[in-house]
Amino acid sequence: MRRWWWLPALLVAGLLPWLPGLPLFWVSLANTIGISAIIAVGLVVLTGVGCMTSFAQASFMGFGAYATAILSARYGLSPWLGLPAALAFAALGAAAIGAVTLRLSGHYLALGTIAWGVSLYFLFGNLDLLGRNDGISDIPPLSVFSLKLVDVRWSAGLIWGCVVGVVVTTNHLLDSRWGRAIRALRGGTLAAASFGVNTARARMLSFVYAAMLAGLAGWLYAHLQRAVNPTPFGLAAGIQYLLMTVVGGAAFVPGALLGAGLVAIVNDRLQEWLPLLLGTGGSYETIVFGIILVAVLQLAPEGLWPHLMRPRLRKRLIVEAEPLARRARATGEILRADRLRKNFGGLLAVNDLSFTVAAGEILGLIGPNGAGKSTSFNLLTGVADPSGGTVTVSGCDVTTWPARRIATLGVARSFQHVKLVAAMSVIENVAIGAHLRGSASPIAAVLRLDRAEEARLFAEAARQLARVGLAEYADQPATSLALGQQRIVEIARALCLDPALLLLDEPAAGLRHAEKQALATLLRRLRADGMAILLVEHDMDFVMNLADRLVVMDFGTVIAQGQPAAVRSDPAVIEAYLGGVA
Ligand code: ADP
Ligand code: MG
């Protein structure tokens, strides 16, 4: 039933407008809401889930509208041919604009899209091809065989049919390997990139997808209105679409429908009431919407939807699936750091660090706070660029590789400051670790052809979660766990990559005694399995009992290395840790 909800929804969309006695005014308003909702759903993917704010969605709607207008009104082609053209034009426009704009992030990206919104508006109004400010009129209506869909009630069926389709495909996309990648952008790009997610591509994917939905809306709009001009594709409209998404609840697909409905109805009322209150002239509704936007951001930054419905994480049915193929275990040296250095301005955080880790070995990297351990991790995993020296993984010089590429060699890590995505369940976070072990494309996801692979990835995530002893928390929100347990979730995520080399930054911090023992047992088992493990840890007893060798750092420099027993009694180490008291 749950999977087929859209069938009754389609029926309702088609039949409801024909309800006897329903004023056509309401049907028209519903059409406006439906078209806006399609754009707002795109913004959910882009802004709510992917954390990229765009004010330019109205421009992409314009791309779609003008594309179909030119083909059908100027060249007499069927309006149905305008649909692929509208989608393709919006997608290409977004890809081109995204290529130069998506390097920006946060507020700068938002400002960039404002600039595009303004300039594209003037472009629409100044191109002869597009009819300048008068636009293009005499656009034919959509027709099915000889039936022309001129009646708003027919259009309502089509528009809301599209809304249902868009909601379905968007849910499919978000519930897939690439959807997880987009959702993981919320936790910053660092953690996702460390598991091989091409974060730039994930950002581009959501930008192009949102633009294509806007293009679809533009196509519907052009054939409904039968005329286009630049006005509805300007910045004011772009602001309104963003407002709809934010009011409804930017992270929720149903929120987009709610927001589109509310804003369209308020807009309609304001058009009527404001002139009565303030006299005619001036578009004061923009000011009112500005005030509403600020109020929503202050009072309910999550939007209205989560206040109406407590959003619940979907429980995942873990199905038995054949195990993913395992990496052939390498032997011998896995990691080599050679005279690795890192300067932060005048501070030498890592100074000529050299060591190796072999398969089936646990190397402990220890030292007082600020010694440079976490920085070393970042240099080894491609998160930060070394100022000097080289890093070699399984014989490859990876010194200049980005984190995403180093992950492909089977290098997985956990973070000292836990980087799980709060809006995702524990098992979904763990599944990000398996990103590189799947290959389904976003198109396969939208068409739901990725189910077998998804089952394998989730079965693997469930297996690793069980391995670290947290199976019972699979469906909880990741951040509802104690901090110590969240570190263990990060280990399960790392194990999902099937790593040859595992780097753990203070995994035992915040664990109780019994949990530490369980972790030690797990790490011993991984070592016996042939994994190379680099361990940064503060708990001396923990590392001393576990590590085969230790490297001790202080002020960025190695002050001792060797067997734990020898290191423990080294005077330089005692001096560094106890300030010479012992
Ligand atoms: P550890 O993990 O051993 O406690 P870190 O590697 O985090 O130490 O830090 C080593 C030194 O580098 C510290 O003095 C810290 O303040 C400095 N440092 C770390 N990251 C940065 C950064 N991004 N910019 C400037 N200084 C940094
Ligand atoms: Mg640290």
Q: Are residues 164 and 263 in the same domain?
A: yes
Range of the domain at 111: 2-309
Cα of 537 vs centre of ligand 2, distance in Å, is: 9
Looking from the CA of residue 556, the nearest atom of ligand 1 is: 10
Question: Could you say which of 495, 512, 544 is where a domain stops?
Answer: 495
Q: Are residues 300 and 430 in the same domain?
A: no
Between residues 463 and 313, which one has the greater pLDDT? 463
pLDDT digits (tens, 9 = 90+) for 483-539: 889 999 999 999 999 999 999 999 998 889 999 999 999 999 999 999 999 999 888
Cα of 555 vs centre of ligand 1, distance in Å, is: 10
Residue 316 counted as domain residue: no
- Mean pLDDT to the nearest integer, 412-439: 93
Residue 186 counted as domain residue: yes
Compute the distance between CA of residue 448 and CA of residue 455 in angstroms, rounded to an integer: 12
pLDDT band at 581 (very low <50, low <70, confident <90, very high): very low
- Output the pLDDT for position 183: 92
Looking from the CA of residue 505, the nearest atom of ligand 1 is: 2
Q: Are residues 504 and 481 in the same domain?
A: no
Cα of 369 vs centre of ligand 2, distance in Å, is: 7
The most confident of 203-217, 286-300, 524-538, by mean pLDDT: 203-217
Residue 191 counted as domain residue: yes
Rounded to 5 degrees, φ, ψ at 32 are: -60, -45
The number of the ligand nearest the C-alpha atom of 375 reads 1
Pairing of strands 411-413, 501-505: parallel
Residue 320 counted as domain residue: no
- pLDDT higher than threshold 60 for residue 582: no
Compute the distance between CA of residue 566 and CA of residue 582 in angstroms, rounded to an integer: 16
- Mean pLDDT to the nearest integer, 233-238: 92
The residue nearest atom 12 of ligand 1, judged by CA position, is 349
Residue 318 counted as domain residue: no
Q: Are residues 282 and 357 in the same domain?
A: no
The number of the ligand nearest the C-alpha atom of 366 reads 1
Between residues 364 and 306, which one has the greater pLDDT? 364
pLDDT band at 444 (very low <50, low <70, confident <90, very high): very high
Amino acid at 498: D
Q: Are residues 292 and 382 in the same domain?
A: no
Count of structural domains within the chain: 3
How many C-beta atoms lie closer than 10 Å to residue 353's C-beta?
25
pLDDT band at 429 (very low <50, low <70, confident <90, very high): very high
- Mean pLDDT to the nearest integer, 461-480: 93
pTM listed for this prediction: 0.90
The single-letter DSSP state of residue 324 is P
Residue 156 counted as domain residue: yes
Residue 114 counted as domain residue: yes
CATH number of the domain bearing residue 174: 1.10.3470
How many C-beta atoms lie closer than 10 Å to residue 139's C-beta?
25
Residues of the chain above pLDDT 90, percent: 66
The residue nearest atom 16 of ligand 1, judged by CA position, is 370
The residue nearest atom 23 of ligand 1, judged by CA position, is 344
Q: Are residues 445 and 334 in the same domain?
A: no
Token readout for 564 is: 């734990």
- Output the pLDDT for position 343: 94
- Output the pLDDT for position 261: 93
Cα of 373 vs centre of ligand 2, distance in Å, is: 5
**In the beta sheet, which residues pair with residue 78?**
none
- Output the pLDDT for position 89: 96
Cα of 510 vs centre of ligand 1, distance in Å, is: 21
Q: Are residues 405 and 472 in the same domain?
A: no
Compute the distance between CA of residue 276 and CA of residue 270 in angstroms, rounded to an integer: 10
Q: Are residues 447 and 405 in the same domain?
A: no
Buried b (16+ CB within 10 A) or exposed e, 310-338: ebebeebebeebeebeeeeebeebbbbbb
Question: Could you say which of 495, 511, 544 is where a domain stops?
Answer: 495
Q: Are residues 250 and 214 in the same domain?
A: yes
pLDDT band at 437 (very low <50, low <70, confident <90, very high): very high
Compute the distance between CA of residue 229 and CA of residue 219 in angstroms, rounded to an integer: 13
Residue 323 counted as domain residue: no
Looking from the CA of residue 369, the nearest atom of ligand 1 is: 4
Q: Are residues 135 and 47 in the same domain?
A: yes
Question: Could you say which of 454, 479, 495 is where a domain stops?
Answer: 495
- Output the pLDDT for position 331: 83
- pLDDT higher than threshold 70 for residue 281: no
- Output the pLDDT for position 72: 94
Cα of 373 vs centre of ligand 1, distance in Å, is: 8
CATH number of the domain bearing residue 345: 3.40.50.300
Q: Are residues 161 and 284 in the same domain?
A: yes
pLDDT band at 312 (very low <50, low <70, confident <90, very high): low
Question: Could you tell me how many residues make up the chain?
Answer: 582
Crossing angle (nearest 10°) for helices 285-299 and 235-248: 30
Compute the distance between CA of residue 579 and CA of residue 183 in angstroms, rounded to an integer: 46
Cα of 380 vs centre of ligand 1, distance in Å, is: 15
Q: What is the DSSP string of 226-241?
A: S-B-SGGGSHHHHHHH
Mutate to test the pocket of ligand 1, among 340, 341, 342, 347 (most ligand atoms within 8 A of CB): 347
- Mean pLDDT to the nearest integer, 38-59: 94
* Helix, strand or coil, per DSSP, at residue 269: helix
The residue nearest atom 18 of ligand 1, judged by CA position, is 349
The residue nearest atom 13 of ligand 1, judged by CA position, is 370
| 379 closest CA partner among 411, 337, 344, 415 | 337
Q: Are residues 159 and 211 in the same domain?
A: yes
Give the binding-site residues of ligand 1, using a 6 Å CB cut-off: 344, 347, 349, 367, 369-375
Mutate to test the pocket of ligand 1, among 341, 375, 551 (most ligand atoms within 8 A of CB): 375
Between residues 557 and 17, which one has the greater pLDDT? 557
- Output the pLDDT for position 66: 96
